[in-house]
Chains A and B, each alone.
Chain A
Amino acid sequence: MDPKNPVSIEIWHYYNGPQKIAFDEAVNEFNETVGLEQGIIVEAFNQGNISQLIENVLNAANKKVGAGDVPDIYAAYPDTAYQVDKLGLVASLDQYLTEEELSAYFPGYLEEGRFDEQGNLKIFPIAKSTEIMMLNKTDWDKFAAATGASLDTLKTMEGVTETAKSYYEWSDGKAFFGRDAMANYFVVGCKQLGVDIFSVKNGTVSVNLDEAVMRKLWDNYYVPYVNGYFAAYRKFRSDDVRNGDIIALVGSTSGAAYFPDKITVNDVDKYPIEGIALPAPVFADGSAYAVQQGAGMVVSKSTPEKEYAATVFLKWFTETERNIAFSVGSGYLPVKKEAANIKLVEKALAESEDSSVTDALKISLPVAIEVINTHELYTTKAFEGGTDARNILEYSLPDLANADLKQIDEMVKNGISRAEAVAQFTTDKHFQEWYQGLQEALAIYNSK
Chain B
Amino acid sequence: MLVPLIIIMILQAGIFCVAILWGGTVDQMNQNAFEILNERVINRKNYLQNEMIQRWSNLDVAADTLNDITSTILEDNHIAIEELSADNPVTLDILSKMSEQIIYLIRKNSVTGAFVILQGRDATDTTVDQDSERKAGFYIRDLDPTTNSVDNSDLLIEVAPSGLTKTLGISLDSWWNPQFDFANENAAAQDFYFRPFAAALAHPEMLGSDLGYWSKPFCLTENDIEVVTYSVPLIDKNTEKPYGVFGIELSADYLRRLLPYSEISPDKKGSYVLAIGDGDELSFEVVIESGPIMRQILGEQKQILFTGQDNHNQSYVMQRNERMEEDSFGCIQYFQLYNSNTPFENDRWALIGFMQEGNLFAFSNQIATTVWIALSISLLIGVVSVYVVSKRFTKPIASLANKVKKSNPHMPVSLEKINIREIDELAMAIENLSHDVFDSASKLSQIISMTDVPIAAFEYRKGSEQVFYTDRFFALLGIDIPREHNLLNGYIKSKAFKELLDKYLTISDDVQKEEEIGNSKSYIFKIDEESHHASRWLRLNVVEEEKRILGVLIDVSREILEKRKIEYERDYDLLTNLLNRRAFHTMINKKFSQPELLKKAAFIMMDLDNLKYVNDTYGHDYGDEYIRCAANVLKRFMPYQTIISRMSGDEFYVFIYGYDNKETIRKIISEIEEGVKNAVLHLPDNNVLKLRASAGVAWYPDDSTKADELIRFADFAMYNVKNTVKGAFSDFDVASYNKDAYLLHNKEELNRFIEEELVDYYFQPIVDARTGNVFAYEALMRPKLITLKTPIEIITLARSQSKLYQIERLTWFKALEFFAAQKDNDPNCKIFLNSISNQILSENDFASFAQKYQAYLNRIVLEFTEEEKDNEVFTLKKQEYIYSWHAEIALDDFGTGYNGDAMLLNISPEYVKIDMSIVRNIDKDENRQKIFQNLVSYSRERKIKVIAEGVETKEEMITLIKSGVDYLQGYYMGMPEPVIQGISSKIKREILESQNRG
- State the A residues within 8 Å of B (CB): 14, 16-18, 20-21, 24, 45-49, 52, 233-236, 238-239, 242-243, 257-258, 260, 264-268, 355-357, 360
Contacts and interface: CB of A to CB of B under 8 A. Distances in A.
B165 A46 contact: no
Nearest to B150: A52
Contacts of A233: 166
B149 A17 contact: no
A235 B179 contact: no
A17 B153 contact: no
Interface of B: 86-87, 134, 143-144, 146-154, 156, 161-163, 165-166, 168-179, 223, 225, 253
30 contacts: A16-B153, A16-B171, A17-B143, A20-B143, A21-B143, A45-B146, A45-B147, A46-B143, A48-B148, A48-B149, A49-B149, A52-B153, A235-B169, A236-B171, A236-B172, A238-B172, A243-B162, A243-B165, A258-B172, A264-B177, A267-B87, A267-B161, A267-B162, A267-B179, A268-B134, A355-B174, A356-B175, A356-B223, A357-B174, A360-B174
A223 B476 CA distance: 154
Nearest to B131: A268
A242 B149 contact: no
B474 to A, nearest CB: 95
B304 to A, nearest CB: 24
Contact of B171 (A258, A265, A267): A258
Contacts of A52: 149-151, 153-154
Contact of B253 (A24, A258, A356): A24
A257 B162 contact: no
A234 B169 CA distance: 6
Nearest to B172: A239
Nearest to A356: B174
A266 B149 contact: no
A17 B148 contact: no
B173 A17 contact: yes
A258 B171 CA distance: 9
B249 to A, nearest CB: 15
Given A239-B171, A267-B179, A47 B147 contact: yes
Nearest to A20: B143
A359 B223 CA distance: 13
Contacts, number: 95
Nearest to A354: B223
A355 B223 contact: yes
A363 to B, nearest CB: 14
A379 B176 CA distance: 33
A268 B149 contact: no
B165 A234 contact: yes
A348 B168 CA distance: 36
Contacts of A268: 86-87, 134, 178
B172 A242 contact: yes
**For A235, A257, A355, which residue has the most chain B Cβ atoms within 10 angstroms?**
A235
Contacts of A356: 174-175, 223
A21 B174 CA distance: 13
Contacts of B165: 234, 239, 243
Contacts of A243: 162, 165
Contacts of A242: 172, 176
A347 to B, nearest CB: 22
Contact of B174 (A17, A47, A266): A17
Nearest to B149: A48
B662 to A, nearest CB: 94
**For B163, B169, B178, which residue has the most chain A Cβ atoms within 10 angstroms?**
B178
B715 to A, nearest CB: 79
Nearest to B145: A46
A260 B171 CA distance: 13
A263 B459 CA distance: 134
A48 B156 contact: no
**For A265, A267, A356, A357, which residue has the most chain B Cβ atoms within 10 angstroms?**
A267
A161 B869 CA distance: 131
A70 to B, nearest CB: 15
Contacts of B168: 235
A77 to B, nearest CB: 16
Given A20-B144, A47-B154, 8 more contacts: A16-B153, A24-B253, A49-B149, A233-B166, A235-B168, A239-B171, A243-B165, A356-B175
B86 A267 contact: yes
A242 B166 CA distance: 12
A16 B149 CA distance: 12
A47 B174 CA distance: 20
A115 B223 CA distance: 42
A405 to B, nearest CB: 14
A48 B153 contact: yes
A48 B174 contact: no
A69 to B, nearest CB: 14
**For B172, B174, B176, which residue has the most chain A Cβ atoms within 10 angstroms?**
B174
B149 A47 contact: yes
A17 B251 CA distance: 13
Contacts of B253: 24
Contacts of B149: 47-49, 52
Given A16-B143, A52-B150, A234 B174 contact: no
A265 B161 CA distance: 10
* 8 A-B pairs closest in CB distance: A48-B149, A49-B153, A267-B178, A46-B144, A48-B154, A239-B172, A52-B149, A243-B162
Contacts of A258: 171-172, 174
B147 A234 contact: no
A283 B180 CA distance: 44
A270 B861 CA distance: 110
A266 B162 contact: yes
Contacts of A264: 162, 177-178
Nearest to A259: B174
B531 to A, nearest CB: 101
A207 B168 CA distance: 35
Contacts of A266: 162
Contacts of B176: 239, 242
